[in-house]
Amino acid sequence: MLASRDDMLAFMCEQCGAIFYKTKRYYVSSMQKKIRDHSVSFCNSQCFGKSRIKRVQVECSQCGAKFMRTPGQSRQSKSGRQFCNHSCAATYNNLHKTTGTRRSKLEVHIEEELTRLYHTLEIVYNGKDAIGSELDIYIPSLRLAFELNGIYHYEPIHGQGKLDSIERNDSSKFRDCVSNSISLCVIDTSGQINFTKKSSAKYLSVIRGIVDSELGVVT
């Protein structure tokens, strides 16, 4: 005889998180035994077996949260880094990517102009050495950095989730700059719909003004 839906209780597997069902009578019986019945804690024998594997505490490489993993799960990471969820993994990889960096025409133009104007000044473009994640423009001797933030930093062009991720990355960069005594100047370039040297002049002017001020240049 099949049990009705009202006679069933839902449980979540402690190993895989799957939802499974047992009858109320079965559950009451297991509780009366005053022992922990693994059949109401795990959805099947495989999950029960996996749960008995010794777990170790690891730290998320992005957010620092502590969580448990089996030695086998830890070894699956080729880099040796561990992440508590997919969101942290994606955020870390975006912040520390070494290939595929796309630069806007504005960024390339700004680099050309700054190189011409300050040819004796060391300026690092899209480097990661200062804080561990990419800075659009960094001047080591002045401990001064610039970020050129386009429309993707302010509007959900590719969805709210993507914007939230970008905003978290921006906040992380700001905190890291503060921790490393670097002045970070964020320039909103979202007003430039299409690149032209003329429309780029105002952004270059802002950067020049700040750099000249730090260098003590009188204009």
117 with 191, same domain: the answer is yes
Q: Which amino acid is at 69?
A: R
pTM for the structure as a whole: 0.56
44 with 66, same domain: the answer is no
**pLDDT, average across residues 110-134:** 93
Contact 59, 65 (CB under 8 A): yes
Q: Return mean pLDDT, the chain.
A: 81
pLDDT in tens, 17-68: 777 777 777 766 766 665 455 666 778 888 777 776 667 788 888 788 888 7
Q: Which helix (H) or strand (E) segment is 143 a member of?
A: none
18 with 114, same domain: the answer is no
Specify the 3-state DSSP secondary structure of 63. coil
Span of 39-43, 56-60, 72-76, 202-206 with lowest mean pLDDT: 72-76
Q: Which of 68, 96, 124 is the last residue of a domain?
A: 96
Instruction: Tokens 């610039």: give the residue.
Output: 146
Domain housing 58: 54-96
**pLDDT, average across residues 195-215:** 95
60 with 148, same domain: the answer is no
Residues 186 and 174: their CA atoms lie apart, in Å, by 9
39 with 126, same domain: the answer is no
Q: Is the pLDDT of residue 16 over 80?
A: no
DSSP 106: H
128 with 207, same domain: the answer is yes
Q: Is the pLDDT of residue 4 over 50?
A: no
Contact 150, 72 (CB under 8 A): no
Give me the pLDDT at residue 96, please. Answer: 60
The 10 Å Cβ neighbour count of residue 86 is 8
Provide the number of structural domains found in the chain: 3
Torsion 165-171-177-180 (CA) sign: negative
